[in-house]
Amino acid sequence: MKKFNKSSMLAVAAISLWIGTFLSPILTCGFNNSGSLFLNADPNSKSSPAQTQAITLQNAFEEVFDKVSPSVVSIATERTVNVNVNPFMNGPFFERFYGNDPRSGRQMQQKQTGLGSGVILNTEGYILTNHHVIKDMDKLTVKLKNQKTFEAKLIGSDELMDIALLKIDAPKDSIKPATLGNSEQVKVGNWAIAIGAPLGFEQSFTVGVVSAIQRGGLNSSGLSYIQTDAAINQGNSGGPLLNINGEVIGVNSMIASQSGGSVGIGFAIPINEAKRITEEIKVNGRVIRPWIGVEIYSLNDQIKEELKLKIDQGALVNQIQRGSPADQAGIQIMDVITHFDGKEVKDSNDLVSMVRAGKVGKRVELKLIRKNNEIITSIVLRARPN
């Protein structure tokens, strides 16, 4: 029995020694950060040339954020709508027969909210954002980077161009306007930076490049957009698209996505166009848009073959509104407009841009092709009917 106890004690001692040997580094490292489990940065190490360049770019991004973020605001929207309590009365079948007649079922008021972004234009408190951010909303609340909030007044908006102008009454020393750039100088491959409140995450900063310029044909506005792969999501609408100098080159407006989230295809309204619209809204409260009253198509091989055209550029007149300036000027369906006010018309988007840039009441010269004969006429721009 005594022999067994002695052997056991020796075994325990051996095992204890082995465990102590194994655990001692871990226990030591647990109390001393200079142990083998920690690898501290060497303060004397030098960056490689490539790392130095990357750090310089990183610093440039930080400078852009520090410079512009105080000029970017979040816009909380709110409205009250009447909804039928009975869910069976909300379908299109019942709306067809009863419309919104409250007698068709008991109704209750419901609040709906939204969130967008905007950019401060000047120390007077004017703020640029998208029309779709504030459309049909009863209350607009602007939040600055310093978390101060102000109720905003809608000065006016333009649905076609998706531009809205707001104003807040805030001390001039509490708001910082952004610097506006020149969107005509934007080139494919330039840095593109977005700041806004995607999905409610305020002051979010994303980086990409300009993927395309003059991206037209996206909607009926006739506007050519700046395309970027910088991440843009719901809530970014109305916020600025910036260049590497921290200048606003566009207003983030929409994305192309099957999922509803960013897939790297975002579109911004060029800031030059946004400036023109907001200046007119500030003066008139709305946009008075020139109009000639035609529906047009760009030329393609099929059209050129059917009409036996000898030209490659122009805008084909497909429809004319009765009593419009085009109707009064004698323009006919199947005419091809090749020049507007002395400028060559390349396609339908080109003509839309030219008309939009014109002035109501101005008489302009038109050159067109009719049955392969060149005709010169003139037309007076009128305000587009609402």
What DSSP designation does 215 have?
A: E
CA distances from 239 to 126, 186, 205, 242, 309 (A): 14, 18, 11, 10, 45
Q: List beta partners, residue 195.
A: 205
Q: Is the dihedral of CA 323, 329, 334, 337 positive or negative?
A: negative
Strands 343-344 and 240-242: unpaired
State how far the Cα of 239 lies from the Cα of 72, in Å rounded to an integer. Answer: 7
Q: Say whether 253 is catalytic.
A: no
State how far the Cα of 293 lies from the Cα of 327, in Å rounded to an integer. Answer: 8
* Residue 168: Cβ-neighbour burial (10 angstroms; 0-12, 13-18, 19+): buried
* Residue 124: Cβ-neighbour burial (10 angstroms; 0-12, 13-18, 19+): middle
User: Which residue in the block uniquely carries the two structure tokens 């007698």?
Assistant: 103
Q: Say whether 347 is catalytic.
A: no
Q: List beta partners, residue 196.
A: 204
Residue among 53, 112, 121 nearest 82 (CA): 112
Q: Say whether 162 is catalytic.
A: yes
State how far the Cα of 335 lies from the Cα of 351, in Å rounded to an integer. Answer: 14
Instruction: Name, in order, each residue with C-beta under 8 angstroms of 311's C-beta and a sequence gap of 6 or more.
Output: 299, 304, 336, 338, 369
* 331, 355 Cβ separation under 8 angstroms: no
Which residue among the candidates 132, 174, 257, 327 is catalytic per the annotation? 132
Q: List beta partners, residue 80.
A: 111
Which residue among the candidates 237, 253, 324, 348 is catalytic per the annotation? 237
Tokens of 41: 């940065």
State how far the Cα of 191 lies from the Cα of 241, in Å rounded to an integer. Answer: 10
Which residue among the candidates 74, 131, 157, 162 is catalytic per the annotation? 162
What DSSP designation does 223 have?
A: P
Q: List beta partners, residue 119.
A: 72, 128
Tokens of 303: 């059209």
Q: How many CA atoms does the CB half-sphere of 40 hold within 13 Å? A: 7
Catalytic residues: 132, 162, 237
